[in-house]
Amino acid sequence: MEEIHIGMLLFLIIAGFTAAFIDSVVGGGGLISLPALLFTGLPPQIALGTNKLASTMGSLTSSISFIRHGKINKSLMVKLLPLSIIGSAIGVYVVQKIPSDKLKPLILVILIVVTIYTLTKKEWGLTSTFNGMTIKKAIFAVGIVTLIGFYDGFLGGGTGSFFLFAFLLMGFDFVESAGNAKILNFGSNITALVVFFYYDSVYYQYGIPMGIAMIAGALIGSKVAIKKGSSYVKILFVLVSVVLIGKNIYDHFFA
């Protein structure tokens, strides 16, 4: 690997901080951090593994922040976290057998539906209506968490946003949904990271400094989200969803 340049390192630190600030609230930080790593000239597989190292550091930080402020449902997360981990592990395994490009058109459709639904429900997610688990909610939670965990291991990109949307459907407000989503996103991230470690696909010289920047970004981002409340998170969620839609359209039709 080429000698590390200070300018490139500063670029990654800024990109990492920005990505983690956004990702700590609504997900989608990979739209910034992964292209930044690819810009350095790292091979795609190494860039993916390095991004997972940095983003795992960020997601752990934001998870701790949401936990400390009481913005997660601890008993529910204890039950759902293993499902996210299992789903991600299966996704990482399956992606070795099936090209992930097969899923991209479906993901685009889902993102559009999620964004339109959020925009048309004016008061949705501004206050929590969650009043405990029912059999129907439990079946939904088990299925959707495992599926999104699988998606993160198989394809990734917008995983945090999908987790957040799932918790909104269960009745949590935007801030609680963001907190719960980060816990499960951390689980799927750490699972994928273990696989990248196994295949020696992590470039620590970039991953660790970027990860430290992500810790700072995640800490500030989660605090801002908790302070400003659900209306702020909703706006950021819609903006990130629109960007994700744009990226998927570009990848599908023009790349």
* Domain layout of the chain by residue ranges: 6-253
Helix (H) or strand (E) holding 97: none
> 101: which DSSP letter?
G
- Asked if residues 204 and 212 have their Cβ atoms less than 8 Å apart, the reply is no
Q: Check whether 1 has a pLDDT greater than 60.
A: no
Cβ atoms within 10 A of the Cβ of 25, count? 31
Rounded to 5°, the CA angle 62-63-64 comes to 90
- State the residue for tokens 């009745």: 171
Structure confidence at residue 181 (pLDDT): 95
Query: What is the spatial distance between Cα 57 and Cα 36, in angstroms, rounded to a whole number?
Result: 17
Tokens of 23: 């990702």
> 100: which DSSP letter?
G
Rg (Cα) of the chain, in Å, rounded? 17
- Asked if residues 114 and 169 have their Cβ atoms less than 8 Å apart, the reply is no
Q: Check whether 98 has a pLDDT greater than 90.
A: no
Tokens of 245: 């839609």
- Asked if residues 170 and 181 have their Cβ atoms less than 8 Å apart, the reply is no
Q: What is the pLDDT of residues 131-154, one digit of tens each?
A: 889 999 999 999 999 999 998 877
Enter the pTM of the model.
0.88
Tokens of 214: 């992500």
Q: What are phi and psi of 117, to 5 degrees?
A: -60, -45
Q: What is the pLDDT of residues 118-134, one digit of tens each?
A: 888 878 888 889 988 99
Q: What angle separates helix 6-26 from helix 30-39, to the nearest 10 degrees?
A: 160
More reliable by pLDDT, 49 or 105: 49
Confidence of residue 103 (pLDDT cuts 50, 70, 90): low
Query: What is the spatial distance between Cα 149 and Cα 153, in angstroms, rounded to a whole number?
Result: 6
Query: What is the spatial distance between Cα 62 and Cα 234, in angstroms, rounded to a whole number?
Result: 18
- C-alpha closest to that of 79 among 171, 142, 143: 142
Query: What is the spatial distance between Cα 193 and Cα 100, in angstroms, rounded to a whole number?
Result: 18
Confidence of residue 31 (pLDDT cuts 50, 70, 90): confident
Query: What is the spatial distance between Cα 248 and Cα 16, in angstroms, rounded to a whole number?
Result: 22
Query: What is the spatial distance between Cα 243 and Cα 93, in angstroms, rounded to a whole number?
Result: 28
Cβ atoms within 10 A of the Cβ of 150, count? 23
Q: Check whether 15 has a pLDDT greater than 60.
A: yes
Tokens of 213: 């920047």
